Amino acid sequence: MSGEQRAASDPYFPDNGDPRYRVHRYELALEYRPGPNRLAGTARLSAIVRRAPLTEFHLNLAEFKVGRVMVDGRVPHYTHRGSKLRIRPAKPLPAGAVFTVEVHWSGNPKPVRSPWGGLGWEELTDGALVASQPVGAPSWYPCNDRPADKASYHISINTPSAYTVVACGRLLTRVTKASTTTWVYEQSAPTSSYLVGLSIGMYQMVLLGDPGLGGVPQTAHVPAHLLPQFSRDFARQPAMLKLFEELFGPYPFGEYAVVVADEELDVPVEAQGLSLFGANHVDGARGSERLIAHELAHQWFGNSVSIADWRHIWLNEGFAKYAEWLWSERSGGRTTHELAAAAHRLLTSQAQDLRLVDPGRKLMFDDRLYQRGGLAVHAIRCALGDGAFFLMLHDWATVHRHGVVTTAGFTTHVARYATGPMDDLLSAWLYEPSLPPLPALSPPPTSTTARPGCPPTNDGPTGRGRASA
């Protein structure tokens, strides 16, 4: 890897992704047989050269057998070692050139190793699912695996007809021939490689909400024996989505689906327009409702508004955590300030060695990042006041819809809605490891209707300065 390429690569995962080009569309044609866990696929990538001349580039792909590679219809020189497919086109590609790459591969998919265990393709007792955050996408298809490289997807999957296939995007067709069915999905919105979700299993589909009234189509795919519990646990998801549209702006995709796998999962995982839950997240008592809110909020924060690299992961998780608190407050549960105070007490008793901005790969999924991220958002709310805060929040999600953001861009955005300096507060919460005091209103409100959710406290001044996925 050249010095220029390394400098622009994700500092946490320098071997994942290639910044010298970007992909604007993937077309994946897959065949999967659950019994032998056998996957065969063809990928056609349409890409654009960013840095010229492009004499060679790479895709990330796990250790499958690669049958053929083509660049613009010609056979290039290529090597496939260490989950990296290096390709050298027959001729260098000039800046701005549009080119296509075709890759044929086959084998037995399995999770890729990571500090957090296996990521990506996971074979289940009867079926499979994909949970790729942050670097599991190469476990099942060749990709430019960096969160800022967002593309549209066309996914065709052939599998035995007894199974339901759920993928991110809109179901275009489902065609059965003999004993197999081909499912075809289209995700037209720009999508990061780790957010391409997939689940194959024995599911019954149920509808949530009423899309006939102009709302977002919401579907669920659930094992039959879990339907009674599911119907209670997810009953308030349509109201949740309505609230989040009110606060964050229109839902950013064409549909939203949830899948409940018939196995236990450590945590739910978001994908583009899709969230995956385990059977352990369904209890009939709404015991995981905060997680339902968390994964739904990621459709705005993380999926539509995506981070430039993994140093900024708090922008995904902090806002999803705060969405949990907002839902609790608006649905009759504990208020945001009560939940913030509980999070603050928890963090006060723990090590003070985590910075929200650039926490390091080791701590990027530490529960403290989620809690402190939510607290940072709450501190900004208390400093701005509800009117300015919710306008800021709505504008952040809508102005950057389907875009890529950084923490520096966010702090600049926040400053536009403040009546005074925000530098000290933002520095203390985002850049310093020590935990600031619990945020309080400053100055105190002059009426009982001013800035609900951030009551005065005696915890000190403000303005200074794997958890669920």
Instruction: Report the pLDDT value the prediction gives residue 209, as an integer from 0 to 100.
Output: 81
Answer whether residue 457 shows pLDDT above 70: no
1-198 with 306-431: one CATH topology?
A: no
Report domain 203-299's class: alpha beta
Answer whether residue 245 shows pLDDT above 60: yes
The model's pLDDT over 156-174, given as tens digits with 9 standing for 90+, comes to 999 999 999 999 999 999 9
The model's pLDDT over 414-448, given as tens digits with 9 standing for 90+, comes to 999 999 999 999 999 999 999 999 988 544 433 33
Instruction: Report the pLDDT value the prediction gives residue 452, as an integer from 0 to 100.
Output: 44
The model's pLDDT over 204-235, given as tens digits with 9 standing for 90+, comes to 999 998 766 668 999 999 999 999 999 999 99
Supply the CATH classification number for the domain 306-431. Answer: 1.10.390.10
Instruction: State the SS3 of the chain.
Output: CCHHHHHHCCCCCCCCCCCCEEEEEEEEEEEEECCCCEEEEEEEEEEEECCCCECCEEEECCCCEEEEEEECCECCEEEEECCEEEEECCCCECCCCEEEEEEEEEECCCCECCCCCCEEEEEECCEEEEECCCCCHHHCCCECCCCCCCEEEEEEEEEECCCEEEECCEEEEEEEECCEEEEEEEEEEEECHHHCCEEEECCEEEEECCHHHCCCCEEEEECHHHHHHHHHHCCCHHHHHHHHHHHHCCCCCCCEEEEECCCCCCCCEEECCEEEECHHHCCCCCCCHHHHHHHHHCCCECCCEEECCHHHCHHHHHHHHHHHHHHHHHCCCCCHHHHHHHHHHHHHCCCCCCCCCCCCHHHCCCHHHHHHHHHHHHHHHHHHCHHHHHHHHHHHHHHCCCCEECHHHHHHHHHCCCCCCCHHHHHHHHHCCCCCCCCCCCCCCCCCCCCCCCCCCCCCCCCCCCCCC
Instruction: Report the pLDDT value the prediction gives residue 215, as an integer from 0 to 100.
Output: 85
- What ranges do the domains of the chain cover? 1-198, 203-299, 306-431
Instruction: Report the pLDDT value the prediction gives residue 51, as an integer from 0 to 100.
Output: 83
Of the chain, the percentage scoring pLDDT greater than 70 comes to 91
Mean pLDDT of 70-83: 96
Q: 1-198: CATH homologous superfamily?
A: tricorn interacting facor f3 domain (2.60.40.1730)
Q: Supply the mean pLDDT for the chain.
A: 92
